[in-house]
Amino acid sequence: MKTSIYAWIAMAFMAFMACQPASESSVAKEQIAMRKTIADLEGEVDKSVEVDRVLAADLVSRYIQYYNRYHADTLSGEYLLRAASLSTGIGEYQQAIDLLVHFHDGYPSSKRRAQAAFTVAFIYDVYLQNPEKAIIHYQAVIDQYPDSPYARESEAAMRLVGMSDEQLIRFLEERNK
């Protein structure tokens, strides 16, 4: 399903770019080629049963390269989020955080800013097991996006930050009584 969506996006974009003026053709051709390469790599990553770290790192690099060249393109922000997600998946947590912060700060009108901010807190909490930074970032989500579902998630997560597995099990048992 994902692969077909990516392919559809790439084909729609290529059709759109074919209608651009000739003066933009060299830039457009390069941009189309980069999008096609990214779509092809996404297809390879989607097909693999196990995550190929080299392939995933290459795809992250391509997402970032596209963002750097075509920042004004609406797909650039989406590519940053995909790069962050893939970075998390291959254990490159600091890179994921950097990409999410870059997205959050670089797209002030995006509806996905709260999600990016929450994901930073979540990475600090779950993957990096840094409760101090997790709490700071969860609180930032609550303060900046008080009406979002991510604020409610942050409030719930803050109650669990720093708990050991045993403490978490006891908490859940007490809650389910």
Contact 163, 126 (CB under 8 A): no
Higher pLDDT pick, 9 / 146: 146
**pLDDT at 85 (0 to 100):** 96
Give the chain's mean pLDDT. 87
Sign of CA dihedral 76, 79, 80, 81: positive
Higher pLDDT pick, 12 / 138: 138
Sign of CA dihedral 41, 42, 46, 51: positive
Distances (CA, A) of 14 to 10, 23, 27: 6, 16, 13
Contact 120, 137 (CB under 8 A): yes
- In this prediction, residues 114-125 reach a mean pLDDT of 98
Sign of CA dihedral 119, 61, 111, 12: negative
**pLDDT at 175 (0 to 100):** 81
Distances (CA, A) of 71 to 10, 18, 39, 135: 17, 20, 18, 31
Higher pLDDT pick, 165 / 69: 69
Query: Side chain identity at 118, as an amino acid letter?
Result: F
Determine what percent of the chain is predicted with pLDDT higher than 70.
86
